[in-house]
Amino acid sequence: MDSDALNAAQERLGRKLGWFVTLTTWQRETEWKEYSPRRKFAYFMDA
Protein backbone atom coordinates (compact mmCIF):
# COMPACT_ATOMS: atom_id res chain seq x y z
CA MET A 1 0.00 0.00 0.00
CA ASP A 2 1.14 3.49 -0.77
CA SER A 3 1.45 5.36 2.53
CA ASP A 4 1.24 8.74 0.78
CA ALA A 5 -2.11 7.79 -0.77
CA LEU A 6 -3.42 6.55 2.59
CA ASN A 7 -2.34 9.76 4.34
CA ALA A 8 -3.94 11.91 1.62
CA ALA A 9 -7.21 9.98 1.94
CA GLN A 10 -7.22 10.45 5.72
CA GLU A 11 -6.72 14.19 5.30
CA ARG A 12 -9.36 14.47 2.58
CA LEU A 13 -12.00 12.44 4.42
CA GLY A 14 -11.16 13.66 7.93
CA ARG A 15 -11.16 10.13 9.33
CA LYS A 16 -8.68 7.80 10.95
CA LEU A 17 -7.55 4.68 9.18
CA GLY A 18 -8.98 1.36 10.42
CA TRP A 19 -7.61 -2.09 9.72
CA PHE A 20 -9.50 -5.38 9.62
CA VAL A 21 -7.21 -8.41 9.66
CA THR A 22 -8.08 -12.08 9.14
CA LEU A 23 -5.60 -14.85 9.97
CA THR A 24 -6.39 -18.32 8.64
CA THR A 25 -4.40 -21.39 9.62
CA TRP A 26 -5.07 -24.95 8.53
CA GLN A 27 -4.88 -27.67 11.16
CA ARG A 28 -5.98 -31.22 11.59
CA GLU A 29 -6.82 -33.03 14.79
CA THR A 30 -4.93 -36.21 13.88
CA GLU A 31 -2.72 -37.33 11.00
CA TRP A 32 -5.53 -39.18 9.20
CA LYS A 33 -8.25 -36.53 9.44
CA GLU A 34 -8.92 -33.71 6.98
CA TYR A 35 -7.48 -30.24 7.48
CA SER A 36 -9.89 -27.62 8.78
CA PRO A 37 -9.50 -23.85 8.78
CA ARG A 38 -9.10 -21.90 12.01
CA ARG A 39 -9.78 -18.18 11.70
CA LYS A 40 -8.99 -15.25 13.95
CA PHE A 41 -10.14 -11.69 13.31
CA ALA A 42 -8.93 -8.34 14.59
CA TYR A 43 -9.94 -4.72 13.98
CA PHE A 44 -7.88 -1.78 15.11
CA MET A 45 -7.64 1.95 14.49
CA ASP A 46 -4.52 3.82 13.39
CA ALA A 47 -3.20 6.05 16.18
Could you tell me what percent of the chain has a pLDDT over 70? 98
What pTM does this model have? 0.53
The average confidence (pLDDT) of the chain is 90
pLDDT band (50, 70, 90) for residue 47: low
- Angstrom distance (rounded) from CA 7 to CA 15: 10
- Angstrom distance (rounded) from CA 15 to CA 10: 5
- Per the model's pLDDT, the better-predicted residue between 2 and 39 turns out to be 39
pLDDT digits (tens, 9 = 90+) for 12-34: 998 888 889 999 999 998 888 89
The pLDDT of residue 42: 96
CB within 8 Å of 36: residues ≥ 6 apart: 26, 27, 28, 29
